[in-house]
Amino acid sequence: MHFFYAPQFANQQYVLLGQEAWHCARVLRSKLGEEIHVLDGLGNTYAGKLTAISEQNCSVNVQQITHQPQPENQYLHVAIAPTKQTERMEWFVEKAVELGVNTISFLETARTEKTNIRMERIQKTAISALKQSGGKWLPIIQAPIKFPDFIRQTIQSNSKILPLIAALSPQSKPIRQVAAPPCRAVVCIGPEGDFTPAELNLAEQNEFIFVSLGQTRLRTETAGIAVCCWLHPILTA
């Protein structure tokens, strides 16, 4: 089953435009009357039949709408320091979307190798992963933010979210001893040079809990995926 993406897909009659129309008409060579499924990234799946097809626009008559709500007791926000190689961050975003992460933030730390993030490209990667996996919710992807600002913003949000930070520290506890699904958590993942002592001190002062992701030293994007696997119920249900 192929999925299409349309963020404003809300009416019984809808038109796929741009890349989605081209993919439907040119790549898949869809036929009139064929049933297609469209995701809006907000939990809804629209099933309908094609009533007009061209490479510029494809009309859809919506016949069924299903909604998958987000569980209130489950939320995962991964805040990660971008890697120098863009493709490694895109790989992380792709896999995180497939695994059902709710929010992704990019942290500017003292040792962050890359701060210029092409957000449009990252968003396209996320949408592609959503369609490929058939997921129902597109994660919120936030623009790069300085680490101290993120820490303060998280604490001041007053939301019931468990604040965690992955750190190479003697006081770090295995992450599954601190949190296990279902849970609501935000996890900070630093660059491959790790967070600086000053950054760790700031996190500790703001009641972030130090966690370990295992006995081996992980690449940044691998650490991000490990967090998604350990704390999201999609792999533990």
Look up the domain containing 17 and give its range: 3-67
In the prediction, which pLDDT does 158 show?
66
In the prediction, which pLDDT does 157 show?
82
CATH of the domain at 25: 2.40.240.20
| Domain limit, last residue, from 27, 44, 67 | 67
Over its C-alpha atoms, the chain yields an Rg (Å, rounded) of 20
In this structure, are 182 and 101 located in the same domain? yes
Sites in the chain below the pLDDT cut of 70: 9-11, 158, 233-237
The secondary element (H helix, E strand) that includes residue 163 is: strand 162-166
Q: Look at residue 206 and give its three-state secondary structure.
A: coil
In the prediction, which pLDDT does 171 show?
87
Give yes or no for a contact between 82 and 120, defined as CB atoms under 8 angstroms apart: no
In the prediction, which pLDDT does 233 show?
58
In the prediction, which pLDDT does 237 show?
44
In the prediction, which pLDDT does 236 show?
42
Closest CA to 38 of 56, 73, 12, 72: 12
Closest CA to 188 of 105, 75, 128, 121: 105
In the prediction, which pLDDT does 160 show?
84
Other Cβ atoms closer than 10 A to 145: 15
In this structure, are 20 and 137 located in the same domain? no
In this structure, are 37 and 80 located in the same domain? no
At 149, phi and psi to the nearest 5? -65, -40
Contacts of 63 (CB under 8 A, 6+ apart): 47, 48, 49
In this structure, are 13 and 118 located in the same domain? no
